[in-house]
Amino acid sequence: MNIALIAHDSKKELMVQFCIAYCGILSRHSLCATGTTGKMVSEATGLSIQKFLSGSQGGDQQIASRISYNEIDLLLFFRDPLTPKPHEPNEMNLLRLCDMHNIPLATNIATAEVLIHGLERGDLDWRNIVNPKRY
């Protein structure tokens, strides 16, 4: 599965801790992330992560493009709802595209926990059946 990781600044440490906790599961999948999130997670875990640009430089749009092609199977986007971002419309587009393609999406760690356990259990295997030619 292709998993995308994005975290707002105040949630980056949480994302790092999450990825440390679930490193074993994540290591069996293909990971990509916005620039700073990817750098922090790969440095802390040793996981191999394709890093896009920083979110503010368009990294979230690069991930949105992959989502538009239905190439992402799971998006973990730890959002900070209290701090407005200049590129917030782009972020909203990410969420919209996930809904268009029925891509599982977690915007907080509580949902991410459920999805990562579901991923491990095979609950997302239908994505390989629906999109068999991507791998």
Ligand X SMILES: O=C(CO)COP(=O)(O)O
Query: What whole-number distance in Å separates Cα of residue 114 and Cα of residue 85?
Result: 27
Q: Does 6 bind ligand X (CB under 6 A)?
A: yes
The DSSP annotation for 1-70 comes to -EEEEEE-GGGHHHHHHHHHHTHHHHTTSEEEE-HHHHHHHHHHH---EEE---GGGTHHHHHHHHHHTT
For ligand X (CB under 6 A), the number of binding residues is 13
What residue type is assigned to position 58 of the chain? G
101 labeled binding residue: no
Stretch near ligand X under the rule CB under 6 A, chosen from 49-57, 65-73, 104-112, 122-130: 49-57
Active site residue 99: no
| Cβ(69)–Cβ(32) below 8 Å | no
Which of residues 2, 3, 36, 106 is near ligand X by CB under 6 A?
36
Q: Which is nearer to ligand X, 40 or 116 (CB)?
A: 40
Stretch near ligand X under the rule CB under 6 A, chosen from 19-27, 31-39, 107-115, 116-124: 31-39
Query: What whole-number distance in Å separates Cα of residue 59 and Cα of residue 6?
Result: 9
Q: Which is nearer to ligand X, 103 or 127 (CB)?
A: 103
Which of residues 1, 23, 25, 35 is near ligand X by CB under 6 A?
35
Q: Does 59 bind ligand X (CB under 6 A)?
A: yes
